[in-house]
Structure 1
Amino acid sequence: MATAVDTRTRRLTDSQWALIGPLLPSNQGRRGHPFRDDRRVVDGIIYRFRAGVAWRDLPRGEFGPWQTIWKRHRRYAGDGTWDRVLQALLSQADTAGLVDWDVSVDATIARAHQHATNTRRPDQPTGAFSNHKNLSFAEAEPDGHGIGRSRGGLTTKIHQVVDGNGLPLAIVVTGGQRNDGAMLEAVLNDIRVPRPGGGRPRTTPDAVLADKAYGSRINRQMLRSRGIRCVIPEKSDQTAARKRKGQNGGRPSKFDEDAYKDRNVVERSFALIKQWRGIATRYDKLAITYRAAAVLHAALTWATLLGEVA
C-alpha cells in the first residue's frame, strides 16, 4: 500500500521511485561507504528546485543535512547520472511506443539571480552545454558557465527538444544571447535514445517542427541531409528575396501548415518546467548543476507516464 506523502516537501511517488531508484549508481554497487537514504536525498533535490530555496534552507527534518543533498546532486550532475536515468527511461518509453518522433524545438530564457553570477566569467563566449557524453567537469562546464548578456540582463537560455506529446527528449544550456536557430543542430545532436537490444541509439527524429527563427538555409540543408522532414515556416525576408529573383529564385520551401499546429507542445513543456522556481530563475553558479535540474525534471515526466501505463 502506498504511504501518505506530504506534497509540499515530497515529489517522488512510489511508481516514479520504482523506475528511477534502480538506475542510480548508489544501487549498483560502488567502492567505499555506500550511499544511504537515496529516496530522501532525491526528494530533497527535487524540493530545492521546485521551491527555489537556497541549499542551506532545505528542511533538515525532512531531508537531512543540506550538504549531503548538494554533494549528491553535484556528483550526479557531473558524472552524467541524471542523463543516464533519462536515457534509460526514454528507452523504455520508445520500446513501449510512447515516443512521438515528430519533435518540436524551441528555447526559453531564465533570468540569472545575483547568486548565480558572482563568479569569474567572460561575457563571451557562453558555450553550449550538455553532458550526455559523461564528460569530466573540466570538459563539460562551458566558458562563462552558460550565462550571457541579453536584453533581460544576465540570463541563461534552455534549448529543448520535445516529442510530439510535449515530453522532453534533449536539453542544452547556453547564455541568454545565443541565437535559437544557430543551436538547432547542437540540440538535435543531444537526442540519444538507447535501443534495448544494443547497437547504436536512436538520434534522428522523423520531423522537426520549429518557428521562423530556425528557418535558415543552413538548417534546412542540415535537416534534409539527415532525412528529417522540415516543418518550419519561411522567413518573410527569404520569401521576398526569392520573389525578387523571379525564376532564378527557386521554389518555395515545402511547409505543412496542419503539422505546424502541433508545435505549441514545446511551449507547454516550458510552462511545466518553469513551475520549478529554481529553473524559472537560475540560482546555480554552475551550468552543469542547473542543466541537471532540467534533466531531472524531464526524467520525472517520463517516469510519471511510464508509471501510468504500467
Structure 2
Amino acid sequence: MRSTGSRYRVFTDDQWERIESLLPSNTGVRGHPFRNNRRVIEGIAYRFRTGMPSRDLPREEFGPWQTVWKRHRRYAGDGTWDRVLAQILAEADAEGKIDWAVSVDATIARAHQHATNTTRPEQDTGAGSNHKNLPWHEVEPSGHGIGRSRGGLTTKIHQAVDGHGRPLAMIVTGGQRNDGAMLTELLAQIHVPRLGRGRPRTRPDAVIADRAYATGVIRSELRRRGITAVIPDKRDQAAARKRRGSRGGRPPGLDTDAYKGRNVIERYFALAKQWRGIATRFDKLAITYRAGLTICAILTWLRLMGDTP
C-alpha cells in the first residue's frame, strides 16, 4: 500500500472506503478474486488525470497496464461507474444537497490522433440513434462519438449539472452535433434513485440554458414535462417577432435572476478539463471516454460530501 501522500493517488482513503463496496464483487471472469483492486482503480483515474498512454502507467504503482485497461473497459461497458454515481447521487439527494435548477450546455474536446485511427463514417452524429432503448454505457456509436467540425476531429460533451455546478448526467457525441438536438436525451439520463421507497427523481424543477437551446420544440417539451425553461430568446427570433408587431405574439418569459446562475456549468467544464485525459480525448471508444467523465463526476460529489478538506 502506498503512503497517503503519494503523488500517484487520486482517491483519498475516505473516498475509496466510500466507493469500494459499490464496485463489483471481487471475482473476476473465471471466479478468481481481484487482487489490489484499489491499485487498478487508481491507475484508471490517474491515466485520465494525466492523459498518459496506458502503456506508460508506472508498473510499480499500478501493476500491469493491461490489467488497468481491461478493468476500465469492463467497468465502462457494464455500467459500474454509472451505478456508483447513481448511489452517490441518491445519498446526496436524501441529504438535500442537490439543487434541481439544472444547467445544461456542451463543450468541445479535441480528439488526439491516438483516438481517431479507427474506421468511422463521415459526419457521424455519435448519438446512438439506433440504440435509444439502451443505456448509454452499452452503446458504442458507429463513429465512436468523433465528428468533423471547424476545429477538426472533435468530441462534444453534453452535460447537465445541478444549481451548484455538480454533474448529474453526461452524453458524448461527435463535435458537429447540435446542442439543442441532444437536450431530450441528456435530460433522460438524469436518474437519481431514492434511498427508501419511491420512484427515482428524473425531472428537474427548471432547465437553464443558453440561446442554442431556444427553439419552440424544446420549450414545448419542457412545458409538457412541467419544467420551467430559463432560456433567453434568440436575437433573430426576437427581431422577427418585433417586425410582425401584434401578430408576432408574446416573447417567452425569462427569469433573469435565475439565468445568472447558468455560469455554474462553465465552471464545471473548467474543473473537469483539469484532467488532461478529458480536455483532450485519447480514448478510441466513446464508452471508455465517457467512463472517465463519470469517474470525474463521482470525485466531484465525494469532495462535496466531506471526504476532502
TM-score, normalised relative to structure 2: 0.94
Could you tell me how far 1:302 is from its partner in structure 2?
A: 0.9
Return the alpha-carbon distance in structure 2 between the equivalents of residues 204 and 30 of structure 1. Answer: 37
- Asked if the contact 1:79/1:136 (under 8 Å) is kept, the reply is no
- Asked if the contact 2:124/2:146 (under 8 Å) is kept, the reply is no
Deviations, residues 222-249 of structure 1 (Å, cap 9, x unaligned): 1111111111100011111212222221
Could you tell me how far 1:4 is from its partner in structure 2?
A: 2.2
Tell me, what secondary structure is at the counterpart of 2:144? helix
Could you tell me how far 1:128 is from its partner in structure 2?
A: 2.0
Which stretches of structure 1, 4 residues or longer, exceed 4 Å deviation after superposition?
27-31, 129-137
Could you tell me how far 1:17 is from its partner in structure 2?
A: 0.8
Tell me, what secondary structure is at the counterpart of 1:128? coil
**Equivalent position amino acid for 1:15 in 2:** D
Which residues in structure 2 correspond to 1:270-285 (within 5 Å)?
Answer: 270-285=269-284
Question: What is residue 37 of structure 1 aligned with on the other side?
Answer: 36
Return the alpha-carbon distance in structure 2 between the equivalents of residues 34 and 107 of structure 1. Answer: 40
Return the alpha-carbon distance in structure 2 between the equivalents of residues 43 and 246 of structure 1. Answer: 61
- Asked if the contact 1:193/1:202 (under 8 Å) is kept, the reply is yes
Question: What is residue 213 of structure 1 aligned with on the other side?
Answer: 212
Question: What is residue 245 of structure 2 aligned with on the other side?
Answer: 246
Could you tell me how far 1:151 is from its partner in structure 2?
A: 0.3
Return the alpha-carbon distance in structure 1 between the equivalents of residues 201 and 147 of structure 2. Answer: 32
* Closer/same/farther in 2, CA of residues 59 and 28 from structure 1, 3 Å limit: closer
Q: CA RMSD in A?
A: 2.3
**Equivalent position amino acid for 2:79 in 1:** G
Deviations, residues 190-223 of structure 1 (Å, cap 9, x unaligned): 1010111244211110011111111111111111
**Equivalent position amino acid for 1:227 in 2:** G
Question: What is residue 85 of structure 1 aligned with on the other side?
Answer: 84
Which residues in structure 2 correspond to 1:154-303 (within 5 Å)?
Answer: 154-303=153-302
Return the alpha-carbon distance in structure 2 between the equivalents of residues 91 and 281 of structure 1. Answer: 30
Tell me, what secondary structure is at the counterpart of 1:202? coil
Is 1:4 the counterpart of 2:4? The answer is yes
- More divergent stretch after superposition (27-36 vs 140-149): 27-36
Could you tell me how far 1:104 is from its partner in structure 2?
A: 0.5
Return the alpha-carbon distance in structure 2 between the equivalents of residues 207 and 136 of structure 1. Answer: 24
Could you tell me how far 1:27 is from its partner in structure 2?
A: 4.7
Return the alpha-carbon distance in structure 1 between the equivalents of residues 128 and 303 of structure 2. Answer: 26
Return the alpha-carbon distance in structure 2 between the equivalents of residues 129 and 260 of structure 1. Answer: 31
- More divergent stretch after superposition (77-86 vs 295-304): 295-304
Question: What is residue 106 of structure 1 aligned with on the other side?
Answer: 105
Tell me, what secondary structure is at the counterpart of 2:21? helix
Return the alpha-carbon distance in structure 2 between the equivalents of residues 231 and 89 of structure 1. Answer: 27
Unaligned runs of 5+ in 1: none
**Equivalent position amino acid for 2:165 in 1:** G
* Closer/same/farther in 2, CA of residues 136 and 129 from structure 1, 3 Å limit: closer
- Asked if the contact 2:126/2:147 (under 8 Å) is kept, the reply is no
- Asked if the contact 2:136/2:171 (under 8 Å) is kept, the reply is no
* Closer/same/farther in 2, CA of residues 235 and 102 from structure 1, 3 Å limit: same
Return the alpha-carbon distance in structure 1 between the equivalents of residues 194 and 28 of structure 2. Answer: 24
Return the alpha-carbon distance in structure 2 between the equivalents of residues 61 and 294 of structure 1. Answer: 26
- Asked if the contact 1:50/1:278 (under 8 Å) is kept, the reply is yes
**Equivalent position amino acid for 2:149 in 1:** S
Is 1:71 the counterpart of 2:70? The answer is yes
* Closer/same/farther in 2, CA of residues 309 and 65 from structure 1, 3 Å limit: closer
Unaligned runs of 5+ in 2: none
Is 1:24 the counterpart of 2:31? The answer is no
Return the alpha-carbon distance in structure 1 between the equivalents of residues 192 and 132 of structure 2. Answer: 11
Question: What is residue 51 of structure 2 aligned with on the other side?
Answer: 52
* Closer/same/farther in 2, CA of residues 61 and 133 from structure 1, 3 Å limit: farther
Return the alpha-carbon distance in structure 1 between the equivalents of residues 122 and 45 of structure 2. Answer: 30
Tell me, what secondary structure is at the counterpart of 1:25? coil
